[in-house]
Amino acid sequence: MVKISPSVLTSDFLSLADDIKKLEAAGVDMLHLDVMDGIFVPNISFGVPVIKSIKAHSNIPLDVHLMIDRPHRYIKEFAQYADYLGFHYEAGSDNAELLKEIRELGCKSCITIKPCSSAEEIFDLLPLCDMVLVMSVEPGFGGQKFMPSALDKLSKLKAESERLGLEIELEVDGGINGETAPLAIKAGATVLVAGNYLFSAENMAERVDYIKNI
């Protein structure tokens, strides 16, 4: 069954605690936490203090997505609270060494690719990954339309991980809703990041159930 990792960036932060309780009750599998630095992406979101607070008050695994420049500078700090810890292939670090470090620090490792990067560019990194995140929108902004090119990348990553005998979660982030979720799952996605689709719903649990039963 597919896993759901709601992006809390869509939440009203004044009611974040209540929203997390609703997500817990709805049966989501992770919480997707987008960390933006205003350099790698234009926006700025939140950092370690917010994630530390969420970790202290929720048992849902934390899926931390670093959209930051030179992520190697902050891996140890975020690894204290993340369950999955991911960074961008395009962010200018030694990707292989960083993936190894994340695992050594006790987190599951994730590499993320923007729409401009191909699946083939990260094939050599797959043995070091517990999850791969395919961006189906440009990182840094919510509410964008799903890019169909992500489907081909998911299919290629699924085929290559199976060829290598690897069990890797394939996550997709951006524009996920009732129409795009089935397409992503068919292409090989095992984890869906959903923001507006869940937080705009009168009943989050109904939409979670719909996706999980596709």
**What backbone phi and psi angles, to 5 degrees, belong to 176?**
-80, 125
CA 79 to chain centre: 15
Cα separation, 210 vs 131, whole angstroms: 23
The active-site residue, picked from 37, 63, 130, 173, is 173
- CB 57, CB 17: distance < 8 Å: yes
173 is catalytic: yes
- What is the distance in angstroms between the CA of the first residue and the CA of the last residue of the chain? 9
Catalytic residue among 19, 34, 37, 130: 34
Enzyme catalytic residues? 34, 173
